[in-house]
Amino acid sequence: MHKSSSDLISSKDALKIMRQRHSVRQYFNRPIEQQKREILNKTIEDINKISGLNLQIIYDEPKCLNNHKPGYGTMKGCNNYICMIGKKAPNRSEVMGYWGEILVLKAQELGLNTCWIGLITGKAKVKVKKGEKLKHLIAIGYGQNQGKQHKNKTITETLAFHSFSQDQIDIMSFMPSSTCLAHKKEKSIYKKGSKTILNNISTNNNLDSDLKANKKNLKKVVAVLKQKKPINENTIKVLESELNSCPVWFKNGYEACMLSPTSINQQQFLVVFDKEKEIACIADKGGILSKVDLGILKCQFELASGHKVF
């Protein structure tokens, strides 16, 4: 029988592990013990069976990450990395995010540190089959530090309450799952679903159109994300008190999203909750690798809350 994400990480400890996890970029030259390698290898084997991905882990290979061109988040001393490989599929980035984050949390549980690497500049020592692509890496090893808590966006930018129509619920239910590569025929359902979720919900975010316009230019995107926006203290208070009255499972899920790693810490997501129907969904507001972020967010939400999120 195939395992599910909660068989790989215990939901009971999930939030604790998420609170401890931060990206780490400096590592000791200390090999990962055989016993831990076996656990990681077995987890990867299970994930590949469920997801259709072809993830691989490379140990004791210093060249790829340490030759990483200096720039955003240079890695030091890391000799191990997980290769995020998979064939083309409409939801490939999201599925990679979902299962990559399971491995990040598994590593944290084993006392190891990690860092997602979105854009690969070194040469990974891995065989990629025809039709598949190596998209991202995750550095893994013993960190020289435990990293630090990232800055968070405000609740007004990341949380909304909304009453879903039956049409919206139907569309969300038909969306390909974030745990398994979808068939290419499902591309239009995937695209339409993602758009419908966001277009019907007011986001309080006037940066979305700027981000879309600058999507291909990392420097401009970072500049847009750094812009200061006026914060409406009253809206914050209203949202905080609404969140307080939500069920504990939803509050845990939202906290897990705020703890999630996102590309350049962009946090371009909106967690949406229908209080009456008790349905939660996460909308992707777009940005560099935001679909990978979306998979990571859904993984963290589901593990911490024990509930499905659309």
Closest approach of Cβ 289 to ligand FMN, in Å? 4
**Cβ proximity to ligand FMN, 104 vs 175, nearer residue:** 104
Name which of 122 and 147 has its Cβ closer to ligand FMN.
147
Judged by beta carbon, residue 292 or residue 304, the one nearer ligand FMN is: 292
Write out the DSSP string of 18-42: HHH--B--BB-S-PPPHHHHHHHHH
CB of 103 to ligand FMN, least distance (A): 13
CB of 41 to ligand FMN, least distance (A): 23
Q: Which residue's CB comes closest to ligand FMN? A: 73
Residue among 289 and 304 whose Cβ is closer to ligand FMN: 289
List contacts with ligand FMN (CB under 6 A). 22-23, 25, 72-73, 115-119, 147, 150, 261-265, 289, 292-293, 296
Q: Which is nearer to ligand FMN, 22 or 162 (CB)?
A: 22
We find the least distance from the C-beta atom of residue 277 to ligand FMN, in angstroms, to be: 30
Q: Smallest distance from the beta carbon of 194 to ligand FMN, in angstroms?
A: 17
